Structure 1
């Protein structure tokens, strides 16, 4: 009888932990997904640097880019030498932001421009046929 109670206790614990982790996952998806944003005015752009960038220089470049009106967020991947930023198209486009950054510093960099072939492949971050995309999209639609 003691073994039967232990098995029930272990099975109940595993089930409880699984339910708790599922609830945490759903809450996380709801919290990190933007509630409302204008798809037509917010854009992500990328700048590829052709020179080695250290962390001090990356922080300075991030600050310079964020000081441009219309640029929202920046992320510098030092290992790859890429700078990704979001900007409001009503205030500044990718070319204007790039030119303004180049005026603030003499950098060896170029804008990353998406080709038509890349556009046809869809989102490079997540495969729309993957379970994780369908699951998070379903949770988002369920609660919105």
Structure 2
């Protein structure tokens, strides 16, 4: 029971049930979709950029609470940042999700709620799915 509580922290529950920035962006600069064939989760990410600056980010999709919450928090974290900053955040988020260790080099804010996911290896892919959709925009190495 304690593990289940840790997995579905309040932040993850809130964003999974009431996702932010859900929907498409008209005249998006970039859009891509990723699919997890193991569970059926699907996520399409939209970006509107001005040069290297992310002006707006949103997502559409269907999936488990963890993948939806991750996409929601990702959109909140990346709006207003540069593509380079987004790439750095991706690397730290991936490391945290896989290891459970929070690094202080980058402040992950509410994304830290996903640090407990490392105890559930089968759910790591769920948390990283929306980030994998962002990878082509940031030219970051593959996450999953």
TM-score range, shorter chain: under 0.3
TM-score by length of 1: 0.26
TM-score by length of 2: 0.26
Q: Name the larger-Rg structure.
A: 1
